[in-house]
Amino acid sequence: MNKSKFPNATDPMKKQMAIVVTSPMIAKFFLIPHIKLLSNSYDITLISNMKSNANYLDNIIDKVQLIDINIQRDIRLFADIYSLISLVKHFNKMNYDLVYSITPKGGLIATMAGRISGIPVRIHTFTGQVWATSNGMKKNLLKLFDKLISLLSSFILVDSISQRRYLLAKNIISETKSSVLASGSISGVDMDRFIANSESRLLFRSSRNISNETIVFLYLGRLKKDKGIFDLIEAYGKLLNDVQSKTKLIIVGPDEEGIINLLHIKVAIERMGIVYIPYVANPECVLAGADVLCLPSYREGFGNVVIEAASMGIPTIGYKIYGLTDAIVDGETGLCVELGDIDKYSARMHELVSNNALRTRLGNNSRQRVAEKFNEAILTNAFQELLLSKL
């Protein structure tokens, strides 16, 4: 076994593990539970663009070594070559036992560098495919990148069962060299954090001047066209034409494509009374004020926000696409609609406004399913067992 290269290591016989992500934000949202558990058995180095919000890692700073390598999220040929060379040099110095990556660019750079440096175990997690909704040369290029990641990895994880089936059908991954952790997702849900709280509900609603009787629909995530934002606003407009009772739509998340600034969207938001919040550090506080989560996404690897909402007893309305069909059980924990059917989506919103019993039943079922399948401990233990089996 390799001796630890960490100056603060307590066990010189620990295995050494590198985690490669494009942004510390990815580690904050998905990997902290894994890092906390695995740090008991591994010396962990987190490699990312640390100039991009390294403060996200404050609560694990004592459990990892941080290395700053500027891995860009988008394709930047010369920057990508430089990042690859830098990562190879670092890997050659450290002699890691395994490297784990997540996100497409992080995976491509990490698996290439890992293969060049001879790191024996190279594991990557697929979390959805941008190329699934792309066309032409872009689609072919991105698809090729995923194929390369799969070929250069010693093992592939996929964060949902339906996504794995999709990748197998597209010949991106192999049956024998891939799997899904437990029932899916990356690290599950902290059910002590994502739990319904009447005080938080009243606090959030009072801060937005929303009555407790209002049915609040919530979108929580990045604002992108392929996340269905335009569909959601149109469906909500149809709902307002039909219902007499009070409803509110709240949209939360970074606007990556300037959607909120589009003139027709500005007019629609003002006319419908939609609330837009650019960013929240604690999503559970916003979820606490919601009754229904809306995710009309055109592509989704799994939809972690769905199980976070479910843990708080909140059902989701989503499109019937791979990934979301793992997170939502139609008619049991939420409602699914055929992709792009805005009229039906609006009808499902109407159904959950008018049928309190259905909304409550779906919410109760949601939390129970999270406890059985997506509790954080289930996923972190499954990941630890996978690593043990590969080393």
Residue 330's DSSP bridge partners are 334
Report helix angle 356-369 to 304-311, nearest 10.
110
Mean pLDDT of 279-290: 94
370 pLDDT exceeds 70? yes
Mean pLDDT of 356-363: 97
Count of beta carbons in the 10 Å neighbourhood of residue 24: 23
Q: Average pLDDT, whole number, for the chain?
A: 93
pTM value?
0.92
* Confidence (pLDDT) at 6: 46
Lowest mean pLDDT among 50-59, 295-304, 351-360, 376-385: 50-59
* Confidence (pLDDT) at 86: 96
* Confidence (pLDDT) at 310: 98
With contact defined as beta carbons under 8 Å apart, do 366 and 333 qualify? Answer: yes
Question: What percentage of the chain has pLDDT greater than the value 70?
Answer: 96
Rounded distance, CA 374 to CA 67, Å?
31
- Using DSSP's 3-state secondary structure scheme, residue 323 falls into coil
Which residue pairs from 342-347 have beta carbons closer than 8 angstroms and sit at least 24 positions apart in sequence?
A: 342/231, 342/234, 342/235, 342/238, 343/235, 343/238, 345/231, 345/232, 345/235, 345/296, 345/317, 345/319, 346/234, 346/235, 346/236, 346/238, 346/239, 346/242
